[in-house]
Amino acid sequence: MRVVVVAGARPNFVKIAPLMHVFRRHRHVKTLLVHTGQHYARELSAVFFRDLEIPTPDINLRVGSASHAVQTAEVMKRFEPVVRRFRPDVVVVVGDVNSTLACALTAAKLGIPVAHVEAGLRSFDRTMPEEINRVLTDALSDFLFATEPSAVRNLRREGISAAKINLVGNIMVDALRRFLPKARRSGVLRKLGLAEDERSRVAAHYAVLTLHRPSNVDHPRTLAGILRAVARLGEHCPVVFPVHPRTRKQAAAAGLDKLLRGRGIRVVAPLGYLEFLYLMSQARLVLTDSGGIQEETTALGIPCLTLRANTERPITVTEGTNRIVGTDPDRIWRAGMAVLNARRVRGRVPRLWDGKTAQRIVSVLRAALR
């Protein structure tokens, strides 16, 4: 079996790692790992390959940053000859970034089967670029691997045949389970001055914030409101904020740097996978607009407040530790204080989020393509 595996941006790397680990164990599978270069900064890319023990990509398309149309088109232009040359039996794409759609479309036009890992998630919000990527990638895919039952229902509603859909669980949980012991040794709490001894069992008293969605960070009023609410929470519990390059750029352009230097907020550069995983695993509370972090906090049993109006991952709310709070500053503050004052964390880990998702995916592909 000849497989092209595609990754382009930070959240993709977490999803391809478990797949590459399983593929490597199968002698009859030949993989070609393609990095599109959508994310190129060391802290968003190389660090993740190192932390997640992903082999160096066979090919880097080096597309870099650009508008949506240009970035998508560049990936397609550069990916097409790679697929023609390698002649894979299947192209595996993950997640919902521009590289995901670009490579799915390229492969589909060449008549190569496409496998989409994390299929069927829907926010039903077409202003979100990722939603467009999800809908189109799924429409083009031959193998649709879903993380939760709602995704299967969404795909069926869109007329996708049940024979193409497999509920396999959450591949990020494979990575999380494998690397949590190593993450404990990352030294991140000491590095950030949050604990003297990484291994002491004393519950650390801090929250974590991540923010990068255009709907939040590209609008100065929304961004300012969120940062003010978080700064207020920071008076009760320090908030560590690893800042995404997009957010740093937008905050500077909107003259909001001062808010980032407030007393309760501790701004740091983006962290690697292991450091961030351990930071999250010990936090009292995580505030985020990321999709993946909603799932990782559910897997870890850490309370999460999602700073968006919706989620494409509803199981994190119905079963997990997630709550959707939107971007209203008062609501964020009240929800945050409620978590900090609560005695217990509610939530359980969804079915099939068990660390064996990559194995299930590879079994399905091998059975179909041998």
- Residues labelled as active-site residues: 212
Q: Binding of ligand UD1 at residue 138 (CB under 6 A)?
A: no
Q: Binding of ligand UD1 at residue 142 (CB under 6 A)?
A: no
Tell me the number of residues near ligand UD1 by CB under 6 A.
Answer: 19
Q: How far apart are CA 17 and CA 85, in angstroms?
A: 24
> CB of 77: closest distance to ligand UD1 in angstroms?
17
Q: Which of 153, 177, 228, 246 binds ligand UD1 (CB under 6 A)?
A: 246
Q: How far apart are the first and last CA of the chain?
A: 6
> CB of 32: closest distance to ligand UD1 in angstroms?
22
> CB of 121: closest distance to ligand UD1 in angstroms?
12
> How far is the CA of 93 from the CAs of 108, 144, 257, in angstroms?
12, 10, 37
For 53, the token pair is 């023990």
State which residue, 89 or 125, has the beta carbon closest to ligand UD1. 125
Query: 272-297: b or e for each residue (b if 16 or more CB lie within 10 Å)?
Result: bbbbbbbbbbbbbbbbbbbbbbbbbb
Q: Binding of ligand UD1 at residue 226 (CB under 6 A)?
A: no
Q: Which of 41, 269, 309, 342 binds ligand UD1 (CB under 6 A)?
A: 41
Angle at 305 between CA 136 and CA 252, to 5 degrees: 80
> Are the C-beta atoms of residues 26 and 366 closer than 8 Å to each other?
yes
| φ/ψ (deg, to 5) at 275 | -65, -45
Spatial CA neighbour of 165 closest among 227, 223, 115, 127 = 115
> Are the C-beta atoms of residues 268 and 242 closer than 8 Å to each other?
yes
Instruction: Give, as ranges, the residues between 58 and 117 that touch ligand UD1 (CB under 6 A).
Output: 65, 96-98
Q: Binding of ligand UD1 at residue 10 (CB under 6 A)?
A: yes
Q: Binding of ligand UD1 at residue 9 (CB under 6 A)?
A: yes
Q: What's the DSSP call for residue 42?
A: G
Q: How far apart are CA 321 and CA 188, in angstroms?
A: 24
Q: Binding of ligand UD1 at residue 219 (CB under 6 A)?
A: no
> CB of 359: closest distance to ligand UD1 in angstroms?
26
Q: Binding of ligand UD1 at residue 39 (CB under 6 A)?
A: yes
State which residue, 97 or 223, has the beta carbon closest to ligand UD1. 97
Q: Binding of ligand UD1 at residue 149 (CB under 6 A)?
A: no
State which residue, 130 or 174, has the beta carbon closest to ligand UD1. 130
- Residues lying near ligand UD1 in the complex (CB under 6 A): 9-11, 38-41, 44, 65, 96-98, 129-130, 212, 244-246, 249
